[in-house]
Amino acid sequence: MSDVVSGVPNRAQDDGGKLVGIVLVSHSAAVAASVAELATGLAGGGAVAPVAPAGGDGDGGLGTDSELISAAAAAVDRGAGVAVLTDLGSAVLTVKALLAEGDELPAGTRLVDAPFVEGAVAAVVTASAGADLAAVEAAAAEAYTYRKV
């Protein structure tokens, strides 16, 4: 894990210890839920940042459901910001379109450019340590640099 999440997270200063929320958007409900389970499991003991999966088309099929995404973001919003990680295609485009709407996602919601699985683990671990949104985003993005070979 130390290769994925480097540095000491910046403690959030002005939010009374509120944790950044994480939303995981995948075309597959099973993938989103499993990655959420994996990331929270690896975050270890103590307080774990709120994580919500938003996977599938809402009818049991593969796709993206903007209402699931909005509801997930609202559910994990503790006032310290929400980091959204996506897999590909319509998941990315739907989150961008929702952000452009302005009022569909909680204030302080960001689409984080990161690999889905590794980025989710880095984001949840970092957010659970009390880091602010910028630090969570940086940790998730840094997962791109973690080479396996």
Partner 1 sequence: MLDADFFRRWMTATAVSVEHEAERLTALDSPIGDADHGSNLQRGFRAVAATLEKDEPGTPGAVLTLAGRQLISTVGGASGPLYGTLLRRTGKALGDAPEVDEREFADALRTGVDAVMQLGGAAPGDKTMIDALVPAVDALGRSFAAARSAAEEGALATTPLQARKGRASYLGERSIGHQDPGATSSALLIAALAETAGE
- Residues forming the site for partner 1 (CB under 8 A): 57-58, 62-67, 89-90, 93-94, 96-98, 100-101
CB of 52 to partner 1, least distance (A): 18
CB of 61 to partner 1, least distance (A): 8
CB of 66 to partner 1, least distance (A): 5
Which are the contacts of 132, defined by CB distance < 8 A and separation ≥ 6?
9, 10, 11, 12, 13, 15, 20, 80, 81
Q: How far is CA 146 from CA 4, 68, 109, 141, 149, in A?
A: 6, 30, 25, 10, 9
Q: Quick one: 85 or 129, whose CB is closer to partner 1? A: 85
First-to-last alpha carbon distance for the chain, in angstroms, is 16
